Structure 1
């Protein structure tokens, strides 16, 4: 008689890592991942969503096993000398059975008896429900290979693949119609939020940099420390209209946002695989996904509300139409952040303090990862990487001030370019004032002109150069202003050319006029004024130049 399958995530290889010595990516268990972390450069799954989900799981395990760090000093000790192996080994031994993916009583991150209605199909689903980019019901056809005509998908997962998809799904699944325990399930806690993670020179440094001081460790719990979930215990939440608040950081990192049960099957060769899963709504989360007070998710950035009458801050998300560098100041602490009520990600502010404490004369790399969605449908994911120079470690407030000043300057010029573009479109449509143009015609023409989009696209590379050069802020800022001026003028030339580029259009671009007795500067004049304000600004004035309308 065959014994039931087993796959212990502490010991079995399932997490893809890239060795420091240049060897190919290979898979390791959670135990080896942590204890041998100095030999790996990073967790390296093809999907950034899986990579971040695995990092959060590993961080939750470290917090619970080590009950810390309790201070920056302790974190610096771990960063320099490694984690206490004996403490980790004792914790692994205590909770080993709870990490078995197919355990009959306490399967990892799952609901043990979700098979009760499998035969009737009530909870039965294909494994692709767990993976955003491989067939989730919340995925647009463009992003969903399985959903496209002629699309292909694998009909079975290895246990290692199933474990990775389980971690991804519990971390990133969107809310939507489900009709299992409830009509519509809520999204996973950080499903669409921008998640910031500091990156070290090796995986051990990365883990340490993303372990902010751990408060409330006595009341916190990870999913494997919970009482094993059952259909009855989950259904009770929906029958009684209840919800739960995460007890702490590890609970938040491993929240059971879906009720899942992986159904193992064995083929003729004896290999275990997963095709079908039990799938239903998970534990409903009370309050906001990003948390509040000491229970704020450390990877999440909170922004002040646009309406000052609403005190609630909102989490930063990656935007479809622009890269994060244009909003990079949101990640930084400093006077501007305090004045606006911005709450930078705890991982980044802690990493700065840790590197300062450890006395490392280096900068810091970071990644920001997020799932982009529209009306409950995922259409892309994106991961952006940035490298901060040593100035971020040595003087973070001055560093943040330089970033704020640079971004404010480029935004002001961008607004000037946009105003100039709208004025040029109005001149072209009205034929230099011969007729009264309709605002929709003006807007439509302006939107066809490529300059504003080209301006922002062209500034990404110069901004990264500026960022890398902030150990010498005077020189870096001067180069940045030169780049902004150059790209704004190049973008304006594209707009003039796009509007026709002939003598008549050039006349419209350079000719000021009066309307109803009011002076209107030429489109070219609007841009020139914005650039003059940029280049006249002194380093002691952080206020963005006023943009003419």
Structure 2
């Protein structure tokens, strides 16, 4: 940092883990050029990790493309990302990445200088102040009044992607803000062995002059390429120009205030006002999310409803959406699901010999939970599911039905647990409880990971094996039964009517037996038993 400059290309601010597991901070240039030596980007929170990846991906697309599968393969096979394309792209843009540039501060709006700043911790949901303190932190503005430029840069990027909605400081009159686009979905990242692999696995064929990827137009560009700084009065709403525009969507107008303190440069204030409202179709434009049709009371997708993003749940694992996350849907019309478009190219990479057919990657999914008013962050969320390349390549509705049936068994057993507890408490006129969910869902995640991995090994060869799915059904049955019995044991200590509690437990166990039998019967439609 020189004077009042903080160059995001060269200053250390992006948090990473190197290949030895040591935490470091690097500038954007080194994040790309040393990506082969790094394990991952790792933010302070899951939303920060997702937002930083999206920013780096936008820069990668503009510097490297890649325009074709051959170009992608060349980047994949190279030991490191080549330096020349990045230097050529950045040659006339270095000032665009200065956090404190007086005319074009990065991802900010200089018009806001006329407004009085607040604490910079308005950018940090778990350090919120005033009447917007979250449920999991009660820090106040007086606890710390400044940030380092590196901290402020990280939270600036995160705010643009994940800031909740609600009332903001108006530039003139408009106080209302739409929640930032990433709040509506679980942001999906395909993770490889190194950061270089991860970035390339999430890179699409990018050629805006040919409108690639889909939904990208010739005038697509990230926020730092805008011809003029944004106006303090944001547009009412607009659609995305393309993929890098959406990756760097300016959901807020922000201006950081900075000064010297104890011989170092600090950020000591921020103005945060409403920004651009997103008026596009995420199902058409967003590439790092899975989508599904809402499910009706009959358990089937509602065909007349639009596709909605898959989101994370604080208790129930994201593996419940493995069909939407992993498997393709061949139908162009009336499709009930859509996996992240970043996965679509993986079969091409295998066909061209760029990645091994037996590889197993990980889908890491990031998000946050807002309150009912979409104005307060209640929880940060992160989850993962294995992604065997063999399943990503599978164009097989039977496989989708099999995995869907396995998930339905877990859903139905979980619903039966809730009904048991709800009906008992209704009879006792007691308040409902949600402890059964906590005693059931988290215990299924590891076993489902094994199921997906096992299917990835046996399915491509057409092997007929019921071992993986019968192990899954046995685990669901045992987990649900143990949760019910623990609930009953706790209820006995305080319930006067033991007979009533025993009635609901017995009804649940009979229901559970029926669910497992139904699952075993349905599985025969997908994997014939060896003795048959």
> If the TM-score is normalised by the length of the shorter chain, which range does it land in?
0.7 to 0.9
| Partner in structure 2 of residue 432 of structure 1 | none
Shift of 1:258: 1.3
Distance 1:332 1:136 in 2: 40
Distance 2:393 2:247 in 1: 30
Establish whether residue 409 from structure 1 lines up as the match of residue 409 from structure 2: yes
Establish whether residue 441 from structure 1 lines up as the match of residue 427 from structure 2: yes
| Partner in structure 1 of residue 383 of structure 2 | 384
Residue 264 of structure 1 contacts residue 274 of structure 1 at CA under 8 Å; is this kept in 2?
yes
Distance 1:454 1:331 in 2: 25
Larger radius of gyration: 1
Equivalent position SS for 1:114: helix
The alpha-carbon distance between structure 1 residues 496 and 531, as it changes in their structure 2 partners (threshold 3 A), is farther
Q: Which stretch of structure 1 is more off in the superposition, 395-404 or 164-173?
A: 395-404
Shift of 1:354: 3.3
Distance 2:497 2:164 in 1: 53
Equivalent position SS for 1:113: helix
Distance 1:347 1:492 in 2: 40
- Where do residues 471-510 of structure 1 align in structure 2 (5 Å cutoff)? 471-472=457-458, 474-500=466-492, 505=498, 509=502
Which residue among 228, 239, 261 is the counterpart of 1:245? Answer: 239
| Partner in structure 1 of residue 128 of structure 2 | 135
Equivalent position SS for 2:441: helix
Establish whether residue 172 from structure 1 lines up as the match of residue 162 from structure 2: yes
Establish whether residue 359 from structure 1 lines up as the match of residue 345 from structure 2: no
| Partner in structure 1 of residue 461 of structure 2 | none
Establish whether residue 298 from structure 1 lines up as the match of residue 287 from structure 2: yes
Which residue among 300, 309, 313 is the counterpart of 1:315? Answer: 309
Equivalent position SS for 2:271: strand
Distance 2:35 2:508 in 1: 58
Residue 367 of structure 1 contacts residue 384 of structure 1 at CA under 8 Å; is this kept in 2?
yes
Distance 1:465 1:263 in 2: 50
Which residue among 325, 341, 354 is the counterpart of 1:346? Answer: 341
**TM-score scaled to structure 1, two decimals?**
0.81
Residue 111 of structure 1 contacts residue 228 of structure 1 at CA under 8 Å; is this kept in 2?
no
How big is each residue's C-alpha offset from its partner over 1:209-249, in whole Å with a ceiling of 9 and x where there is no partner?
Answer: 1112221363201111112325xx34263xxxx42221011
Equivalent position SS for 2:182: coil
- Where do residues 276-295 of structure 1 align in structure 2 (5 Å cutoff)? 276-288=269-281, 290=282, 292-293=283-284
Distance 1:84 1:27 in 2: 21
Q: Which stretch of structure 1 is more off in the superposition, 335-344 or 13-22?
A: 335-344
Shift of 1:95: 1.2
| Partner in structure 2 of residue 517 of structure 1 | none
The alpha-carbon distance between structure 1 residues 335 and 244, as it changes in their structure 2 partners (threshold 3 A), is closer
- Where do residues 421-440 of structure 1 align in structure 2 (5 Å cutoff)? 425=424, 440=426
The alpha-carbon distance between structure 1 residues 499 and 411, as it changes in their structure 2 partners (threshold 3 A), is same
Shift of 1:511: 11
**TM-score scaled to structure 2, two decimals?**
0.84
Structure 1, unaligned runs of 5 or more: 430-439, 513-520, 543-549
Residue 250 of structure 2 contacts residue 276 of structure 2 at CA under 8 Å; is this kept in 1?
yes
Residue 7 of structure 1 contacts residue 101 of structure 1 at CA under 8 Å; is this kept in 2?
yes
Distance 2:86 2:175 in 1: 42
| Partner in structure 2 of residue 189 of structure 1 | 181
Distance 1:404 1:197 in 2: 22
How big is each residue's C-alpha offset from its partner over 1:240-292, in whole Å with a ceiling of 9 and x where there is no partner?
Answer: xx4222101111111111111212212352x211111233222233245x3x5
Structure 2, unaligned runs of 5 or more: 207-211, 297-301, 459-464, 528-532
How big is each residue's C-alpha offset from its partner over 1:54-93, in whole Å with a ceiling of 9 and x where there is no partner?
Answer: 1100101111222x23333432322222544322110011
Residue 143 of structure 1 contacts residue 378 of structure 1 at CA under 8 Å; is this kept in 2?
no
Residue 196 of structure 1 contacts residue 348 of structure 1 at CA under 8 Å; is this kept in 2?
no
How big is each residue's C-alpha offset from its partner over 1:31-64, in whole Å with a ceiling of 9 and x where there is no partner?
Answer: 1111111011111222222221111001011112
Distance 2:162 2:175 in 1: 19
The alpha-carbon distance between structure 1 residues 421 and 110, as it changes in their structure 2 partners (threshold 3 A), is closer
Residue 422 of structure 1 contacts residue 443 of structure 1 at CA under 8 Å; is this kept in 2?
no
Q: RMSD of the alignment, in Å? A: 3.2
How big is each residue's C-alpha offset from its partner over 1:411-437, in whole Å with a ceiling of 9 and x where there is no partner?
Answer: 2333445555567x3xxx8xxxxxxxx
| Partner in structure 2 of residue 546 of structure 1 | none
Shift of 1:26: 1.4
Distance 1:511 1:465 in 2: 32
